[in-house]
Amino acid sequence: MQAATASLRLAARASQRGVLTRRLATAAATHAEAHGAAAAASPARKAAPVSLLNMEARWTQLTEEDQAAVHEQLEAVQQKDWKELSVDEKKAAYYVAFGPHGPRAPDSLPGDNTKIWLSVGALVGVAALLTIGFRQFTPPPPHTITKEWEEASNQRALEMKLNPITGISSEGYTGKGFVQTK
């Protein structure tokens, strides 16, 4: 019993503040109900019509309330015949519906591609300089990696009869043996 009266008191306080509450298994308020209750709780104010002139440039500077007012104003204007609309009204309607704002805003800013290309070029240049620098300080290859040494290793393997079944000393062997350089 006390819990029920406490929840009623909380609901009464919430309704005095204009806050919508959801009780037990009741459905949440619809969008229209939520805005209707919020409008009833706050002092009624009718938004003045916003000029639709050059809406593309002014859209980002408008507050959310002004953007909503423009949206409602355009909905009312679009109920008329499309041929009766002014050019500014048509441009504003198109921009609000399909313009590059909100989820359709571009992900990159002008000049981002140039920065990416310059950064990648700089990284490739640094990698090339590091490769050249490391090659300057590496020792020369050992003398056993010359073609003459590898051919001499083949002759020595034949003299010692290395791998006589399938290898270099076998009958009909056509491989290169130890020669790997070109």
The parent domain of residue 156 ranges over 141-182
87 within a domain of the structure (yes/no)? yes
Crossing angle, helix 64-77 and helix 87-98, to 10 degrees?
120
Same domain flag for 69 and 29: no
Task: Provide the domain count of the chain.
Answer: 3
99 within a domain of the structure (yes/no)? yes
| Alpha carbon distances (Å) from 181 to 37, 70, 88, 146, 154 | 86, 77, 76, 7, 13
Same domain flag for 33 and 59: no
Same domain flag for 61 and 87: yes
Same domain flag for 36 and 71: no
Structure tokens at 101: 């704002």
Q: What is the pLDDT of residue 34?
A: 46
Enumerate residues 6+ apart whose C-beta is below 8 A from 77: 52, 85, 89, 93
Mean pLDDT is lowest, of 14-28, 57-71, 102-116, for 14-28
pLDDT in tens, 112-128: 999 999 999 999 999 99
111 within a domain of the structure (yes/no)? no
Does the predicted model carry a pTM greater than 0.85?
no
C-beta neighbour count of 11 within 10 angstroms: 13
116 within a domain of the structure (yes/no)? no
| Alpha carbon distances (Å) from 124 to 111, 149, 154 | 20, 38, 42
Same domain flag for 27 and 67: no
